[in-house]
Structure formats: structure tokens, C-alpha cells
Chain A
Amino acid sequence: MTAPTLLIRDLRLSFKGYSGLVEVLHGISLHIDKGERVALVGESGSGKSVTARIILGLLQTMRTARISGTVNFEGRDLEAMSRAERHRLRGTKMSMIFQDPTSSLNPVYRISEQFHEVLKRMVPGIGRAEADRKAAAMLADVSITEPERVLASYPFQLSGGMNQRVMIAMALANEPSLLIADEPGTALDVTVQAQTLKLMRELVTRHNTAVLFISHNLGVVREFADRIYVIYKGRIVEHGKATQLFDNPRHPYTRALMNAIPRITGEGIPKIQDNSDEYLAPLVVHEGCGEPGEVA
């Protein structure tokens, strides 16, 4: 059996602030198998983005962050790696897509230059012409009909949906084994978001890329993920296959999230003020979905 692409075990994170240590992640475990699409769903502030940043090795360099637990990437312990080794994985074996495509691209460089930069991560000596050729092919893959025009443009000259496609093409350009999508396209309008997500799904399936899909919207996740982890206040509260979870949400928080699925706008963070004991009920694991090495 090959090692899962990503295996996180009992991950804890605290930030050192003026008022002492504040724990943000209270022991998270999750895994993603090769080519699997997994969603991490929870409300704002529940700890989704920090998890992503730890996987990329970005929080480890932050002086105020205290991290414990294990993060294995393709069987290798990230903590055991040197800073340079972790750095080498970024942009090559792992890549990331962000919430707002237009502001995630550098405003003062053309798309082709930014693509070149990304491709250089894999092939440091790649020339501009060669990079442009590859980029054009990648852009064609995300259904962009005039790759040359897009490559010669600045991000502000393109629509949000177009930039989102560019981001997807860039993220997959180096054939990473893990793609992290942090609320991709939440800043776009619903139909464009749906289109680009469909496209992304096709591409990751074709390339057999594992995906960690981060969202606060269960409705969006439903279309995309094989498996879902629900995170609430730094704890995983429910975990199961997408079908299981939607057919039979068992944790009170998951049920509240389901009821909050926005029907028309696709926007909106669930309004959950409740802090009762019920929400802090123990982890619910659906049948056949335990963490590797644990009794399910």
C-alpha cells in the first residue's frame, strides 16, 4: 500500500500573543489518498487556512506560531525536513489556489511573466519562449480560447473568471500531487464560480491530483469532494464520504451548516452563534472512514 499523499495526525497550533498562548487547532487528524478530493468545511475562523499554511510549510517559519503533531507528505515527515526541503516542495509537488483570483496575481506583471516564474520552479533554466509555449497549452486546457492574448495581458485587463482559469492553469502547470484550494473563487459570482470549479474538477481527475478543498459552503463542496471533514473551532467534528454526510449528517454543527447552505447567492457565512455543549459533541466518523492506522 502506498503512503497517502497527505497524512495529518493530531495537529495542534497555538499563536503566542500578548495574552499568552492561544490554541487555534486542537489536534486535527485528516488524510488524503493519492488523487483523492477531500473537503475541509467550517465557518470563518475555524482554522481552515492555517491548516493549509502548515501543509505548505509557511507557518513553520513564523516566530509566533507553535506547532505540534505530524504532517506527512507522500510518506515523508514535514517536520523532519529542512526548511530548504520544505521550500522545494512548494510550487512543484504542492500548489495553492486562492479566494480572489484577480488580487492573487501580481498587478504589475503580465500573465506570461507570472507563468514563467511558476514554471521556473520545476525547470529553473526554462526560457521565456518555451515557458510561453507550455503556458499556452495549459491555458487551452482550461478552455481559454485565445491563450496568446491572455498571456500578453495584465491581470486587471482580464475578467475574474478568466483570472481564475489562469490561476487553475498555473496551479496545475507543474503537475503537483497535492492541490490546496482555499475557498476558490468565493469572490466571483456564482455561475462563474460553478463553471471554474467544474473545470478544476475535470482537470484534477485527469491529472490524478489530490485536492484539499477548503470552503465554508457545503453546497459548493457537494459537487466537488469525495470525502468531507467538518471543522469547528479548531476540531474536526464529523468526517465521512460526501454521500454519507449529506444523507445523514449526525453532528449538530454539521446539521446547522446544512441548513445554512445558501440557496441563491452562494455567498454568506452560516450564522451560527450557538456555543452550547451540543456543538462540542464528540467526533462523528462515518462507516469506513477512519484515519489510517486507527480503528474505524
Chain B
Amino acid sequence: MTDQLPLLRVEGVMKEFGLRRTASERVARSAAEAHRAVDDVSFALRRGEILGLAGESGSGKTTLARCIVRLIEPDAGVIELDGVDVRAASGPELRELRRRMQMVFQDPYASLNPRMTVATALLEVGRVHRRPGAENGEQFVRDALERVHLGPGIATRRPRELSGGQRQRVAIARALAAGPEVLIADEPVSALDVSVQAQLLNLFGDLRDELGVAILFVAHQLAVIAEIADRVAVMNRGRLVEVGETAAVFGNPQDEYTKALLAAHPHIRLSRVAS
């Protein structure tokens, strides 16, 4: 029965930002127009699936991701994790929901304290969420690092003593240390060289296979989504314009915006842009 229910259900979510008035609006004393960054977005994330969220910069991907974990409050809509109303939750209930939905950011510094060693950062998460094993520090850290294919030698380092790829692995390890069912990864590989990006994509695939964690994988590079996601949702100006199996959407896009994005995507095949 629970298998039929999506793990995460998002329905009609909306978020507006008030814009600063432009000079001419100030002169005319007119009100600034509200800007709808996320506009009536609905989708479901199934258990153990990787759902890609694509779209150009400014299309609302980050705002949507942050609304889901309530890093920002949506203005309207329903968000349910496993049948629990995320928007109505508060106190310990909200903390527990946030444990179950962890975020990974493009810039790993966003989740890693530069002054903390890797071990301290991982243990902190384990203790805050009272994870089993967190009382036995060393083993907990070793297991957490092993999950992201890092050796225990890294435990005593600080973020700046790591390469970009290692730093992102530690950020993922930190998210996993909370024992989440959902990872919301906002452009987690976008700042990395392709050589490192490939290895992190493999890691995300492994985490899904081995831990059964469902992943909302935000990326503006369509080819990345093509290789990691089971399904893809395409956003344009705050709206979801197309959702479907990755192969179907990329092979036979229905929406004009999706078609334009795919057409502009640079191929490594030897094709030239028209000049």
C-alpha cells in the first residue's frame, strides 16, 4: 500500500518574491510587481528514484528545492513527505522531516563549516539527530566516509584542505549521516570538472542503489540529467513545463521550451552551430 504512495508529493506550490521597484516605478509611485519564482508546481518523487529537475538559470529550481525543505516558506501549495504535511509541521516534527529530507548544495561550503574538521562535522549531524552509532565516534565517521567512497584519512582535515570533488563527497556524507530518505541535491556537480563530475554521478547512482534513497537532482546541464535521472521535470519561468521518463522526454520532447533547450545543448559529436 505505502509503495503506491509517492515518497514526496508536491502540489500547486507557489512562491512569490516582491521585487524592488525600478527607478521609473518609483517616479510613477506605482507598486512593485511581485515576481512569481515558483508557479503552481506539482510533481511526485517516488521511492528510490532519481528525478532530474532541469531548466535555465532563474527558472526557479533552487527556490522550489528550498521550499520543499522549508528553507524558505512557500506561499501556497501542498508538500507531503510520506503522507506527513511538511508545511504544517513545526518543532520536533519539522526537525524530523528535515532529517528525512537532506539538502546538498552546489557549493559544499554552504553546508560545511570551514573551521570544523570533517569528523566533527559528521559527528555533529549524528548527535543532533541521535543516529545509531554516533556515540561511537570513530566508527560512525569511518562508515559515513566509506559510504561516499572516501578513506578515513580525511577525517582530520578541514574543508579547504580538500579538493573540490572531495569536498562535495564530504557534504554528501554529512547529508547521509542524518539517515535521510530523500536527498535534494541543488546543482551538486555543476562546479566540478567533468573528470570529477563523472565520479560523483556514479556515487549518486550507488547511493540510490545501495541505500534506496530517493534523489531530486537539480542540474542545468541536460546531459548530466540524461545519465543520472530516471525521470526528468523541466522548469521554465517558475512553471513545470514537462515531466516524464528521461528517455521519453529527451527522445521525444512535447513542450516547445524543452525542445529549444535540447536543440541548444552542445554536443560532443562533431556538429557546428550555424554562423
Chain B associates with chain A: no
| A interface residues with partner B (beta carbon < 8 Å) | none
| B interface residues with partner A (beta carbon < 8 Å) | none
